């Protein structure tokens, strides 16, 4: 079960100005990442503040939440995406499930898409949760993962605050980012995916603004988004990663049958190149 304090702290932080800024960027990235992914079944794990599947066209969609997260979630008024990314029908996330992320109530190879917005960071065992996602995904299924980046201005401020608390210089102000959970590095997550036979299709960083807590200063520093994406693209405060599940070593049955139906090769004819003199000629 996801720790209760972690979920409550993250839900409270998302109500702050930097949390709202983060949600807007992540919502735009999810709308673009899942718009052209086709299949029948899609699942979002956690963070109901984001509508990670609203631009997807799969007919069956679910949102899996922890019971504590469901009680503390607050609807967020996010901007609407491009109309070309939305379905013709109103968005319906389908039924909400309450389960452990490392024990999903789905059979093997049953889902075409799984979205994990900060689910690995709050999971009791992130590696086990990722293995569970690999189990329920069909071959060639996609997974979209969102996470905080430690190598960023936001992560630097978080570490400086932790260092001040260790040496006894802590103030009463809370840390900039949620304290609970384990932030998974971008390259570390790529290694985990590669071990589970995933192939990374793409990744992107965002939120290059300084770690301000006021809406006014966050809006004033909006120009840093374009500059940061161009000049230091791996130093964004948050990242989005898309990977596809590959199944290697599969046997093509149709090709094997066609090979078996082929006629066996005719035996080779061996000729004697030596010239043999007839016995009559020797008499």
pLDDT in tens, 16-40: 899 999 999 999 999 999 999 999 9
Q: Is the dihedral of CA 134, 136, 140, 146 positive or negative?
A: negative
Report the pLDDT value the prediction gives residue 71, as an integer from 0 to 100.
44
Rounded to a whole number, what is the largest CA-CA distance in the chain? Answer: 125
First-to-last alpha carbon distance for the chain, in angstroms, is 104
pLDDT classification of 81: cutoffs 50, 70, 90: very low
CA separation for the pair 54, 215 (Å, rounded): 27
Cα dist from 68 to 53, 79, 202, 224, whole Å: 22, 27, 32, 36
Q: Answer for the pair 207, 236: CB distance below 8 angstroms, yes or no.
A: yes
Report the pLDDT value the prediction gives residue 109, as an integer from 0 to 100.
94
pLDDT classification of 65: cutoffs 50, 70, 90: confident
* 154 exposure class (CB count in 10 Å sphere: 0-12, 13-18, 19+): buried
**108 pLDDT higher than 70:** yes
CA separation for the pair 120, 126 (Å, rounded): 5
Tokens for 111, please give them: 């889902």
**181 pLDDT higher than 70:** no
Q: Which of 247, 239, 3 is nearest to 126 (CA)?
A: 3
Q: Coil, strand or helix: which one is 168?
A: coil
Report the pLDDT value the prediction gives residue 85, as an integer from 0 to 100.
42
**72 pLDDT higher than 60:** no
* pLDDT tens sequence across 128-169: 999 999 999 999 999 999 999 988 888 888 777 666 655 555
CA separation for the pair 241, 243 (Å, rounded): 7
Q: Answer for the pair 238, 209: CB distance below 8 angstroms, yes or no.
A: no
pTM: 0.76
Q: Answer for the pair 111, 137: CB distance below 8 angstroms, yes or no.
A: yes
**13 pLDDT higher than 70:** yes
Q: Cβ of 273: how many Cβ atoms within 10 Å?
A: 4
| Domains delineated in the chain | 4-282 (3.40.50.150)
């Amino acid at each position: 079960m996801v720790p209760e304090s972690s979920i409550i702290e993250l839900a409270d932080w998302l109500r702050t100005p930097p949390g709202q800024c983060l949600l807007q960027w992540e919502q735009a990235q999810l709308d673009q990442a899942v718009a052209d992914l086709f299949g029948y079944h899609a699942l979002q794990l956690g963070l109901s503040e984001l509508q990670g599947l609203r631009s997807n066209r799969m007919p069956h969609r679910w949102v899996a939440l922890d019971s504590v997260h469901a009680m503390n979630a607050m609807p967020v008024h996010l901007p609407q995406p491009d109309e070309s990314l939305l379905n013709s029908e109103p968005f319906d996330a389908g039924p909400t499930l309450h389960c452990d992320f490392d024990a999903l109530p789905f059979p093997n190879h049953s889902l075409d898409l799984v979205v994990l917005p900060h689910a690995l960071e709050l999971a009791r065992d992130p590696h086990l949760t990722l293995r569970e996602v690999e189990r329920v995904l069909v071959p060639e299924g996609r997974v979209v993962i969102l996470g905080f980046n430690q190598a960023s201005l936001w992560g630097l401020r978080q570490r400086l605050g932790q260092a001040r608390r260790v040496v006894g210089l802590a103030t009463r102000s809370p840390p900039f980012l949620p304290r609970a959970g384990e932030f998974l590095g971008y390259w570390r997550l790529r290694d985990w995916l590669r071990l589970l036979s995933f192939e990374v299709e793409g990744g992107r960083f965002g939120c290059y603004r300084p770690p301000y807590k006021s809406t006014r200063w966050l809006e004033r520093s909006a120009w840093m988004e374009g500059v940061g994406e161009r000049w230091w693209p791996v130093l964004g405060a948050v990242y989005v990663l898309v990977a596809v599940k590959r199944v290697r070593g599969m046997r093509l049955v149709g090709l094997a049958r066609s090979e078996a139906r082929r006629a066996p090769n005719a035996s080779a004819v061996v000729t004697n190149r030596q010239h043999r003199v007839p016995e009559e000629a020797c008499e």
